[in-house]
Chains A and B, each alone.
Chain A
C-alpha cells in the first residue's frame, strides 16, 4: 500500500485568505492523485483529480498541483463554507487515502 501523508493536520485561516495543503506519497504516483472535501456530517466530495483537474462544478479558487510524490491543494479567497476536512487519495497503485487536513475558516 502506498502511504499518503498530509500536512498540516489542521490549520486555521481567515476569510478571504489562502490555504495551502500538502500531500506526500510514499512512492511516486505520477499525477494519479485526487483531492476530496468532506464537510461535517456529509459524504466526501471529489474536488480535484489527475492532480490538477477540477471536478465538475468546483470553483477555480481550488487549485491542485504537483506530481510524483509531492502534491499541493491551494484554496484562495477562502469562504466560511470551505471549512472541512480535505483528503488526498492516490490511484496509481490501487488506491489509498491520506489521513486528512482539517481546515477552519475564522
Chain B
C-alpha cells in the first residue's frame, strides 16, 4: 500500500524541541521531493518546508526558518522535521506530503501528527 505515516508529535514546553518522522512505503521514495505542511487547530493549511529527493535543495517558510530543519534518509524511506525553539503558535497537526516534482501540488499526504506547545 502506498502511504505516508507521521510520528513523533506530542506535548512540549515553549522553547523545547521535537523531532517528527514520516515513513514512506509503497513507492520509490527517492523519486520524489517531500514537504511538511501544518494546520493549526481550526485553521487552514500552511506549507512549512520542502526538500528535493536527494536534499540538494531545501526551503523553509519564514515562520520556521532558523528554527526547523528538514532532512531525509533515503535508505530508510523516511523524512524528518527537527523543530527547535518551539512556540505556542507552532501548535498544529503536522503532515508530510509528496509533491510531483516540477509541479508542486501535493498528491499524497500522511494522516498527520499533532504537536502541542504549551507550558
| A→B interface (CB under 8 Å) | 32, 34, 36, 42-46, 49-50, 55, 87, 89, 91, 94-100
Contact partners of B47 in chain A: CB under 8 A: 95-97
Among A32, A43, A89, A94, contact of B111 (Cβ-Cβ < 8 Å) = A43
In the complex formed, the residue of B with least CB distance to A44 is: B109
B107 close to A46 (CB less than 8 A): yes
Among A32, A45, A97, contact of B45 (Cβ-Cβ < 8 Å) = A97
B45 close to A43 (CB less than 8 A): no
Contact partners of A32 in chain B: CB under 8 A: 103
Max chain A Cβ within 10 angstroms of own Cβ: one of B103, B106, B112? B106
In the complex formed, the residue of B with least CB distance to A34 is: B105
Residues 41-57 of B contacting A (Cβ, < 8 Å): 44-47
How many of chain B's residues have a CB under 8 angstroms from any CB in A? 17
Residues 13-67 of B contacting A (Cβ, < 8 Å): 44-47, 59
What separation, in Å, do the CA atoms of A10 and B103 have in the docked complex? 29
Contact partners of A100 in chain B: CB under 8 A: 44-45
Residues 86-119 of B contacting A (Cβ, < 8 Å): 95, 100, 103-112
Given contacts A43-B110, A45-B109, contact A94 B95 (CB under 8 A): no
A94 close to B104 (CB less than 8 A): yes
A34 close to B106 (CB less than 8 A): yes
Nearest CB on B from A65, distance (A): 16
Contact partners of B105 in chain A: CB under 8 A: 34, 46, 49, 89, 91, 95
Contact partners of B107 in chain A: CB under 8 A: 46, 49, 55
